[in-house]
Amino acid sequence: MERFDVVVVGARLAGCAVAAPLARAGRRVLVLDRMRFPSDQLSTHVLLPSGTGELAKLGALPRILALDPTRVTHVQVVADGVSCRERMRPTPEGIDFGVCVPRDLQDVELVAAAREQGAEVRERCAVEGLLWRAGRVCGVRYRDPDGREHEAAATLVVGADGRRSTVAAHVGSWRPYRVSRNGRGLVFRYLDDPRMGTPEATTYIQWREGDGIAFAFPTTPAGRLLVLLMGHRDEVADARRDPEGYWRRKLAEHPGLAERVAGAPQGSKLRSTGETPAFFRASSGPGWALAGDAGHFKDPVTGQGMRDALWAGRTLAEHVLAVLDDPEAVDLATRAWEAARDAECLPAYHFANSDTRVESPSPIMREVVRDAGRTEEPDLGDLFGRARDPHEIVPPARIARALASALRRGEIPRREVLRRALDEGRTAIRAERERRAAAFRAPGPIRGSDHPGAVWPAPPASRARDEERVEAAA
C-alpha cells in the first residue's frame, strides 16, 4: 500500500489549497479527484481581493493572471435607487482587485499549481471508502480510471470533496448539525461586455430592487460579463420553462442592469439552480477533516464560497503541518482548526442568511448605502470582500444614525422602518452573542437568521451503512 502524510479527496479550491503548502513544505501529499481537468462546476466564481489573495498564497495567481481576467477594482451597490461606488480595499499584502474566472479555466490552474509545488494529483480517481484502524481513519480506498481498486494510507484524510462529500458520509458526518434553507435561486449567463473601456468594465455591481437582486461581474477573458439574477428560488422553474421571457422580465425589474447590458449581443444559455441550503457539518475527527464546501456552505448570494474554501484549505494545512508525525496532535490540531473556521465563517453565514431573505432592501441598508456613497473610499464593499466583519462595518452607532435618517427622510412608512430595524437589530444581537460565546459547533438556530425547512438528502445506501457503523462505534 502507498503511504502519504496526507490524502486529500477533491482537487479544486479547498483541495489544492490544503495540498500545495503541505507539499511545498516537503510533506507527501496525494490528491484524488474523480474528474479529469479542465472540468466545469456550477458556480458564478466571483473572488474579491481576499479571495485573489488566497490564490496568491496557494501559488496560483500568476497562472490565473495569464488567463487575462478583468481586474475588478470597484464595487457598486444600488439599493432601490440609492447608490454607492467604492474602491475595493487592498489585502494586507496589497492585492486590490477581484477576479472572476470560469471554473473550467480556473480549477485546472489550481491543480497545476499544486502539482508544481510537489503534490501528487491523480485525476479520474474516485474515492469509495475509508480505511480505519482502532477507530481512526488511516487512509482511503479508491478506483482508478481503469476500474482497478487501490488503497492509500495517510496520517490525515481531508475531505475537500464538496457538498455531497463522500468523506463526510463515511465518517458519519453526512447530516449537518446546522442547516438553513436559502430563499433565493440563481440564474446566470455570460455576455460580451458592451461597456469595455468604461469604469463599469472594472466594477462589480449589485442592483437590489424590489425583492430581487441582480449582479454584473466582469469576467474572463477580459471583455466578457457574467450576469446573475437572484429572485425567489421558485422563479428558477420559470427561467427553465421560458429562459428569454424570464430574462426580459428581469431586465424590466432592474433598469440599471438593462442599461448596463444594452447593446450586448445575445448571451450564452441561462444556467440555474434552486436549492442551495447553507450548512455546517462536524468537520474534524480522528484522522479526518472536511475543508471547503464539504464542511460548510453558505448561500452563494454573497459570493464567498470559493474564498472560504481556499482559506479553509490553507489554514488547515497551517494547523497540521508541524504535527503531522504525531496522530494525536493532528487530531487536536484539526479540532482547533474547525473552531477557527467557524469563527471566520459564522459572520458571513449570518450575512448570507439575511441576504437570502426574499424582501426589499431594508431602510437601514438604504441609508448605509447612501452614507457609503459620499466617497469612493472602501466601506460597504468590505462586507463582500471580507476585509472586516459585518458588526465592524455596520456597528450599532451607524445603525442608529441610519435609522434616524430613514425616519427623518420619510420615504418609507415609519412603522415599516421601525419593524425592519427591530427585526434586524434583534437578529444582529443574537448573532453577536453567539460570536462572543464561541461555543464549539454552535448548533443554532438563531431566530431571524437560520431559515427552517431545508430538506437534507439521505446518504446513498452504502454510505448509510457506514454512518450506522460509525454511530454504533461511537
Ligand X SMILES: Cc1cc2nc3c(=O)[nH]c(=O)nc-3n(C[C@H](O)[C@H](O)[C@H](O)COP(=O)(O)OP(=O)(O)OC[C@H]3O[C@@H](n4cnc5c(N)ncnc54)[C@H](O)[C@@H]3O)c2cc1C
Site for ligand X, rule CB under 6 A = 9-15, 32-35, 41-46, 126-127, 160-162, 166, 186, 273, 276, 292-294, 300, 303-307, 309
Question: Given the complex with ligand X, which of 319 and 366 has the nearer CB atom?
Answer: 319
Q: Smallest distance from the beta carbon of 234 to ligand X, in angstroms?
A: 16
Question: Given the complex with ligand X, which of 96 and 293 has the nearer CB atom?
Answer: 293
Question: Given the complex with ligand X, which of 305 and 444 has the nearer CB atom?
Answer: 305
Tell me phi and psi for residue 5, to 5 degrees.
Answer: -70, -45
User: Among 176, 170, 174, which Cα is nearest to 140's?
Assistant: 170
314 to 71, 244, 326, 369: CA distances (angstroms): 23, 41, 20, 33
Q: Smallest distance from the beta carbon of 83 to ligand X, in angstroms?
A: 22
Question: Given the complex with ligand X, which of 168 and 399 has the nearer CB atom?
Answer: 168
Residue type, 307: R
Q: Smallest distance from the beta carbon of 398 to ligand X, in angstroms?
A: 26
**Alpha-carbon dihedral of residues 348, 350, 355, 356, nearest 10 degrees?**
110
In contact, 210 and 199? CB cutoff 8 Å: no
Question: Given the complex with ligand X, which of 270 and 323 has the nearer CB atom?
Answer: 270
Question: Given the complex with ligand X, which of 281 and 307 has the nearer CB atom?
Answer: 307
Question: Given the complex with ligand X, which of 167 and 417 has the nearer CB atom?
Answer: 167
Q: Smallest distance from the beta carbon of 230 to ligand X, in angstroms?
A: 10
Q: Smallest distance from the beta carbon of 140 to ligand X, in angstroms?
A: 8
Cell (9 digits) for 348? 458571513
Q: Smallest distance from the beta carbon of 302 to ligand X, in angstroms?
A: 8
Q: Smallest distance from the beta carbon of 55 to ligand X, in angstroms?
A: 11
Q: Smallest distance from the beta carbon of 312 to ligand X, in angstroms?
A: 8
Q: Smallest distance from the beta carbon of 18 to ligand X, in angstroms?
A: 9
Cell (9 digits) for 97? 482587485
User: Among 272, 278, 190, which Cα is nearest to 235's?
Assistant: 272
Q: For 64, what's the count of Cα atoms within 13 Å in the CB-facing half-sphere?
A: 29
Question: Given the complex with ligand X, which of 49 and 373 has the nearer CB atom?
Answer: 49
Rounded-to-integer distance, Cα 88 and Cα 76, Å: 10
Question: Given the complex with ligand X, which of 10 and 363 has the nearer CB atom?
Answer: 10
Rounded-to-integer distance, Cα 140 and Cα 6, Å: 10
In contact, 343 and 51? CB cutoff 8 Å: no
